[in-house]
């Protein structure tokens, strides 16, 4: 009887207790390694960070409910896929370890070092990315490595603190440090070769015949420079001028992503902060709901199946036992109902998060950039636009070299056959 009463009191206390909270500890800061020495220009590698894969699973990409359960909102993910590379670019630039660092379209090539990434998970409390990197000579620097971090809550204190350090800066700093470590394994000659190979690959793409035989792969599959074009080669001069135009286009694209980041920063920061708060409330509500439901059910079952320990004529004992059973049943039912309410609260928080996401998505609509008379729509279609731009570059080269196919000359109009007129004049007399 005492044990039954103790169980009943315990169940009732849990039913009245409420939420189970978890302690959030500060995340140790990781800093990106700064350059301590001067790097010669011939070894200063340029880096292109491609727009990330948003990480939307193919099997559920059209199922809004399934995506929402995984906290994946496609428009938001696509916005993050453009936003996150800019944060990585800023981190790399700030280390003074590299040459030009740009965010580039996925179809852009011929950069000394290219970084690719995919968003594995992203919400206000946790970020995980899968990142790869390779150089123009064909070496793999990073292969699908996972980088993750819990949120640095210090960044959520004020708007100024969020601007000063991204809540997930540790992720970008770790990627930057791994890139430096991979580069430092190369010799000075290796780095110089990478820069030359990148330039020659661009030239070979435009003029494969004229640039044939300039590079070759060694036994390790790494591309090496075999020979260089002669100084003053007119073909090389034309290709260099075209590359300057291509660099200007890529710079314009990079400036777009920087502007996109600036416009998105405040609203995205607010979204992440609120998202974290809503997720925390939802997790607490679900935890409390599970606790209340399980303990309530246990108390209810205990009250129903508790053994009869009273004698046949022990009326006082029976009254006490029945009262304990009724109290246990009522406490159990109250706990179960409370648990159901907590699940409803969790659903409310999830719906609030979805509404916040939809509101945010309206603030990150695609933008259009004009580049030398060509319109680039910098969303998923930006890749197609950049491909068109690359085709235009090849056409420019063909036109400048005179190699473009000239239209066949128009045939001269056909000369009508001479018409003969009968001579009816009489011959004068001799």
* pLDDT bucket at 354, cuts 50 / 70 / 90: low
- The pLDDT score that the predictor gives to residue 21 is 35
Domain map of the chain by residue range? Answer: 24-238
- pLDDT, residue 291, reads 54
Task: Tell me the percentage of the chain whose pLDDT exceeds 90.
Answer: 32
pLDDT grade for 106, boundaries at 50, 70 and 90: confident
Q: Which residue has the higher pLDDT, 375 or 425?
A: 375
Residues 6+ apart with CB under 8 A from 153: 24, 26, 27, 167
Q: Answer for the pair 253, 386: CB distance below 8 angstroms, yes or no.
A: yes
Kindly indicate the confidence band of residue 184, based on its pLDDT and cuts at 50, 70 and 90.
Answer: very high
- CA proximity to 129, closest of 180, 165, 182, 166: 166
Long-range contacts of 312-318 (CB under 8 A, 24+ apart): 317/1
Q: How far is CA 28 from each of CA 21, 120, 174, 297, 298, rounded to the nearest angstrom?
A: 22, 22, 12, 42, 42
Which tens digits make up the pLDDT trace of 45-61?
A: 999 999 999 999 999 88
Distances (CA, A) of 347 to 6, 64, 279, 282, 410: 33, 16, 11, 7, 75
- What φ, ψ does residue 215 adopt, rounded to 5°? -130, 160
CA separation for the pair 59, 122 (Å, rounded): 19
Per-residue pLDDT tens digits for 124-139: 889 999 999 999 999 9
Mean pLDDT to the nearest integer, 209-235: 89
pLDDT digits (tens, 9 = 90+) for 267-310: 777 777 777 777 666 556 555 545 545 555 555 455 555 555 55
pTM: 0.70
pLDDT at 17: 41
Sheet bearing 101-104, strands edge to edge = 101-104, 47-50, 113-122, 126-135, 140-150
Q: Which residue has the tokens 């439901």?
A: 293
Distance between alpha carbon 261 and the CA centroid of its chain, in Å? 13
Given 1.10.3470, 3.30.720, 3.60.90, 3.40.50, which CATH number is that of 24-238?
Answer: 3.40.50
Higher-confidence position of 90 and 152: 90
Quote the CA–CA distance of 378 and 81 in Å, as a whole number.
12
Higher pLDDT, 269 or 1: 269
| Burial category of 100 from C-beta neighbours within 10 Å (exposed 0-12, middle 13-18, buried 19 and up) | middle
pLDDT, average across residues 160-189: 93
Residues in the chain: 430
Neighbours of 130 (CB within 10 A): 19
């Amino acid at each position: 009887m005492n044990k039954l009463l103790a169980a009943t009191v315990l169940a009732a206390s849990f039913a009245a207790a409420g939420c189970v909270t978890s302690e959030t500890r500060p995340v140790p800061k990781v800093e990106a390694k700064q350059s301590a020495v001067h790097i010669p220009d011939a070894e200063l590698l340029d880096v292109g960070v491609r727009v990330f894969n948003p990480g939307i699973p193919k099997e559920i990409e059209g199922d809004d409910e399934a995506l929402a359960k995984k906290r994946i909102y496609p428009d938001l993910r696509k916005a993050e896929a453009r936003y996150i590379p800019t944060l990585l670019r800023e981190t790399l630039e700030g280390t003074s370890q590299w040459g030009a660092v740009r965010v580039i379209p996925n179809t852009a090539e011929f950069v000394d070092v290219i970084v690719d990434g995919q968003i594995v998970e992203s919400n206000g409390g946790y970020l995980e990315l899968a990142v790869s990197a390779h150089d123009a000579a064909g070496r793999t620097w990073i292969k699908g490595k996972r980088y993750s971090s819990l949120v640095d809550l210090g960044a959520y204190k004020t708007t100024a603190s969020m601007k000063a350090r991204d809540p997930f800066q540790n992720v970008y700093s770790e990627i930057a440090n791994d890139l430096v470590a991979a580069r430092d394994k190369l010799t000075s000659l290796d780095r110089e070769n990478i820069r030359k190979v990148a330039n020659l690959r661009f030239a070979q793409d435009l003029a494969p015949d004229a640039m044939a035989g300039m590079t070759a792969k060694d036994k390790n599959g790494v591309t090496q420079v075999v020979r260089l074009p002669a100084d003053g080669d007119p073909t090389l001069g034309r290709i260099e001028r075209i590359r300057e135009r291509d660099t200007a286009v890529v710079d314009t694209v990079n400036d777009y992503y920087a502007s996109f980041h600036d416009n998105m920063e405040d609203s995205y920061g607010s979204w992440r902060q609120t998202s974290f708060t809503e997720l925390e409330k939802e997790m607490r509500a679900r935890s409390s709901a599970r606790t209340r439901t399980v303990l309530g059910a246990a108390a209810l079952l205990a009250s129903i199946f508790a053994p009869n320990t009273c004698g046949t004529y022990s009326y006082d004992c029976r009254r006490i036992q029945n009262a304990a059973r009724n109290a246990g049943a009522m406490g159990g039912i109250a706990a179960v109902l409370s648990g159901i309410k907590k699940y409803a609260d969790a659903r409310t928080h999830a719906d609030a998060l979805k509404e916040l996401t939809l509101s945010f998505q309206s603030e990150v609509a695609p933008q259009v950039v004009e580049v030398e008379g060509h319109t680039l729509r910098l969303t998923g279609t930006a890749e197609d636009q950049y491909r068109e731009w690359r085709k235009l570059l090849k056409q420019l080269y063909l036109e400048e070299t005179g190699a473009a196919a000239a239209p066949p000359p128009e045939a001269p109009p056909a000369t009508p056959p001479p018409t003969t007129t009968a001579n009816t004049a009489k011959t004068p007399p001799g």
